[in-house]
């Protein structure tokens, strides 16, 4: 079960975490969700970079429901109200994961009678970072991630059959569309076997560029339709055994074009792998 961080420090999608959380969205609950007021839960620190960024991106990008920003102490009081939805982060660990690794996820969830903040009905959940790593590695991507959350909810509301099907296949079917775009990659998010432009080009014959975080941030701000970028979530040296999530996201449309994860090991380090590029090149 997810364990809440409740912003004391700082989608994947529903089908992926269904092994953890028994709830799957229903058409009825999606209808209820879209009629709610969304409460965006802020961190306790008034100087939090997350708070500044989430306020800005919500005000610029949130259109799916009415919204209001709240503090932690208001969260628990509202969680049992079915007319409320919540955008918040939590610590997620996996019951069958013997590594006991923890990840920070962003959730968009529906409240309901007798529900606590531990068992809200998640409509979509997305990994933001490995717990304890620098939040600056994902803060600048929040605008795109927030837009994806809304896109995903609208998608499964219009096509509820995707909820019970393999929604990863639905998103991974988009991978061929990145061949007409430029793939932005960060040097420190590449495994050693694809750490140079020459090695990448030998596997991936389409446009790519090794860039800085500032360049990805600018592409997101510009909503550059020519750019897709890697959102990588991994332990970043915090531990040797953990999941590494790899998501390719459109800077303009906030669509997912590729989604996968692997367990970090000596053979498969924390970063985009050669096998990922081969899948994306097909």
Q: Is residue 7 part of a domain?
A: no
Contact 77, 106 (CB under 8 A): no
122/149 Cα distance (integer angstroms): 11
**Domain final residue pick, 164, 194, 219:** 164
Q: Is residue 8 part of a domain?
A: no
Per-residue model confidence (pLDDT) at position 70: 96
Q: Which residues contact 179 (CB under 8 A, 6 or more apart)?
A: 206
Q: Is residue 5 part of a domain?
A: no
Distances (CA, A) of 1 to 33, 95, 100, 229: 22, 7, 12, 30
Q: Is residue 34 part of a domain?
A: yes
Find the angle CA(237)-CA(241)-CA(242) to the nearest 5 degrees.
Answer: 85
Per-residue model confidence (pLDDT) at position 2: 52
Residues 129 and 252 in one domain: no
The total number of structural domains that make up the chain: 2
Quote the distance between the C-alpha of residue 3 and its chain's center. Answer: 17
Distances (CA, A) of 147 to 58, 123, 153, 188, 206: 9, 14, 10, 26, 26
143/146 Cα distance (integer angstroms): 5
* Per-residue confidence in pLDDT tens, the chain, 282 aa: 354 333 322 244 443 433 344 678 899 999 999 999 999 999 887 778 889 999 999 999 999 999 999 998 899 899 999 999 999 998 888 777 777 788 999 999 999 998 888 789 999 999 999 998 999 999 999 999 999 999 999 999 999 888 876 788 889 999 999 999 999 999 999 999 999 999 999 999 999 999 999 999 999 999 999 999 999 999 998 777 899 999 999 999 999 999 999 999 989 999 999 999 999 999
pTM of the predicted model as reported, rounded to 2 decimal places: 0.89
Residues 33 and 152 in one domain: yes
* Cβ atoms < 10 Å from Cβ of 39: 22
Residues 105 and 22 in one domain: yes
Q: Which two tokens stand for residue 102?
A: 């923890």
Q: Is residue 186 part of a domain?
A: yes
Domain span including residue 216: 170-281
Residues 19 and 55 in one domain: yes
Residues 71 and 145 in one domain: yes
Residues 236 and 143 in one domain: no
Residues 157 and 182 in one domain: no
Nearest in space to 148 (alpha carbons), one of 259, 243, 244, 55: 259
Q: Is residue 121 part of a domain?
A: yes
Per-residue model confidence (pLDDT) at position 13: 44
Residues 148 and 195 in one domain: no
Residues 60 and 196 in one domain: no
Contact 48, 42 (CB under 8 A): yes
**Domain final residue pick, 118, 138, 164:** 164
Q: Is residue 6 part of a domain?
A: no
Q: Is residue 1 part of a domain?
A: no
- The sign of the dihedral angle between the CA atoms of 16, 235, 181, 208 is negative
């Amino acid at each position: 079960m997810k364990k809440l961080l409740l912003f004391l420090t700082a989608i994947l999608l529903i089908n992926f975490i269904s092994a953890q959380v028994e709830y799957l969205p229903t058409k009825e609950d999606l209808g209820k969700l879209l009629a709610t007021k969304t409460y965006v839960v802020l961190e306790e620190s008034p100087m939090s970079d997350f708070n500044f960024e989430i306020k800005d991106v919500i005000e610029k990008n949130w259109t799916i429901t009415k919204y209001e920003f709240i503090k932690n102490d208001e969260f628990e009081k509202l969680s049992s109200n079915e007319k409320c939805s919540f955008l918040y982060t939590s610590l997620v660990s996996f019951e069958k994961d013997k590594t006991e690794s923890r990840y920070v996820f962003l959730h968009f969830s529906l409240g309901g009678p007798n529900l606590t903040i531990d068992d809200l009905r998640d409509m979509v959940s997305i990994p933001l970072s490995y717990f304890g790593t620098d939040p600056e590695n994902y803060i600048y991507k929040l605008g795109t991630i927030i837009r994806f959350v809304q896109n995903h909810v609208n998608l499964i509301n219009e096509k509820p059959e995707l909820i019970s099907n393999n929604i990863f296949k639905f998103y991974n079917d988009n991978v061929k569309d990145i061949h007409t775009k430029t793939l932005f990659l960060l040097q420190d998010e590449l495994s050693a076997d694809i750490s140079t432009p020459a090695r990448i080009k030998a596997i991936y014959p389409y446009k790519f560029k090794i860039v800085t975080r500032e360049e990805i941030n600018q592409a997101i701000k510009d909503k550059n339709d020519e750019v897709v970028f890697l959102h990588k979530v991994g332990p970043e040296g915090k531990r040797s055994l953990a999941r590494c999530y790899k998501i390719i996201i459109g800077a303009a449309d906030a669509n997912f074009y590729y989604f996968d994860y692997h367990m970090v090991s000596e053979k498969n380090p924390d970063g985009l792998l050669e096998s990922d590029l081969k899948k994306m090149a097909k």
